[in-house]
Structure 1
């Protein structure tokens, strides 16, 4: 893993009159605002943050889900980042097994596939404070970007 400092690239909300979708959870906005994190809310109601690794000339998208899910007695929120495209990056059998093994060793987060995209995902109790949420975002960003480099070399598409 890199030991570089993460810097948030300011994102522009889609105009001053932009309103978050009704399903976007304002508690995420409050936590991100309290940490000075710049974000935009996408069409799904997820909070999208662009990390900028200035020294490497790379960026990494990170999302905080605008919705929660209930599992047993837990209310869970996902923090996730894309790391590759299955077909384009040749992610198949052997690599998939390697990712499963890595997920087993990770203390926080795992690799998941949705559609044609490989994501690194951390599922947290929604009660985490702003500092912990930002820390999870940092972990997701660095892990996904490291994997993107491994899979696609210098291409920085995600």
Structure 2
């Protein structure tokens, strides 16, 4: 009896590991796309790809993240590209939820989300985007979040 349970556990563990391989392959796909575009990145503690987009003419920069994993929505693999714009306690006195909902409605790609006490601009796309699309989305997300940060905080450049 003990042998059967152990064998069953081993089979279950092996199956779980085999299912995890596609997720790890997807991560290397993101790295390959970023590398193909010459985009420098680092991987943060929770597996997201962190990119810093610089605006030399304005002496500013903006952090952008590409999620290290995907979500499955009715069989469609979706990956997020996201960037912080403001800490609500410190920076959001110049904006409110209705403003961000209106801005989300006007946005052709992406929307504003509150995650904890931080305002983020987020784009959710099918995982199979190519390197050029990923680069374009990174730039859209960075510029949108940085513009909002500038509007809310003035000259401060925290993100």
- Scaled by the length of structure 2, the TM-score of the pair is 0.82
Asked if 1:142 corresponds to 2:139, the answer is: no
* C-alpha separation in 1, matches of 2:26 and 2:86: 26
In structure 2, what is the equivalent of residue 8 of structure 1?
A: none
Instruction: Please tell me the root mean square deviation across aligned C-alpha atoms, in Å.
Output: 1.6
**Which residue matches 2:6?**
none
Q: Please give the alpha-carbon distance, in whole angstroms, between the structure 2 residues aligned to 1:111 and 1:155.
A: 20
Q: Which residue does the alignment assign to 1:63?
A: 65
Q: Residue 121 of structure 1: SS of its match in structure 2?
A: strand
Which structure: larger Rg?
A: 2
Select the structure that is richer in helix: 2
2:82 is equivalent to residue 80 of structure 1: yes
CA contact (8 A) 1:85 1:91 kept: no
Q: CA deviation at 1:23?
A: 9.3
How big is each residue's C-alpha offset from its partner over 1:6-40, in whole Å with a ceiling of 9 and x where there is no partner? xxxxxxxxxxxxxxxx6981110010001100000
TM-score by length of 1: 0.82
Q: Secondary structure at the match of 1:134?
A: helix
Q: Secondary structure at the match of 1:103?
A: helix
In structure 2, the partner of 1:121 is: 122
